[in-house]
Structure 1
Amino acid sequence: MVQMNFTAETLFTTLQHMPTGEQEKFFSLIARKAFSENNNFSQEEVFGHLKGSEFTADEASDYLEVSIATFRRYCKQGKITASSIVGTSHLYPLANLRELKKALKMVK
């Protein structure tokens, strides 16, 4: 098990940047585990389900904290590309979104 040290502020900031659906999953997990006998959480238990996640354009723009128009501009500029298309939805891998988010923060 990998031990990671988070401050309350870091965790709170991370939660604020999660898409709404992921926030709901996180707090649902907390609520279920809070009343069980074993309430020690590993990184994998809390965030493991996101490893191979793909986000829609709306979720990706929320994650990056940009408007959908700005996100579409990033796509047009080749800063991020969809990894798959399901119906009319383009899906963007979390790993690529993390890289772009880091790059955007470096520019600021």
Structure 2
Amino acid sequence: MQDIKQLLAIAVREARTELGLSQEKLAETLNLDTRTILNIEAGRGNPKFEKLYPLITYLKIPADKIFYPANTNQRPNLQKLLTLLNDCTEQEAADLLPMVRYLLDVLRKQDHPTL
């Protein structure tokens, strides 16, 4: 269980700092006590779902990062891209799809000019 708490602590700290948020600002934004954020990032305590869910969803931490860290460490940029895409509306995804296909085609032709 301690390993999961440490994985959660690392994931929350990394996501928070990547957004440029202090523990206090994050707590204020989510209407949580600053000690809750502090304890989670220190790997202490056992946060209740009611506190954990808004934290994880606000920071957009994929479950794999906590429960299957080996998967996310192998392809961190793909995980970031998937997280961004999961935050899209259906219309945004529909609008992005042809652009992504085009960009992938361009990138792949650069990598393999004979294709």
TM-score (norm 2): 0.29
Q: More helix by proportion, 1 or 2? A: 2
Larger Rg: 2
TM-score, normalised on structure 1?
Answer: 0.31
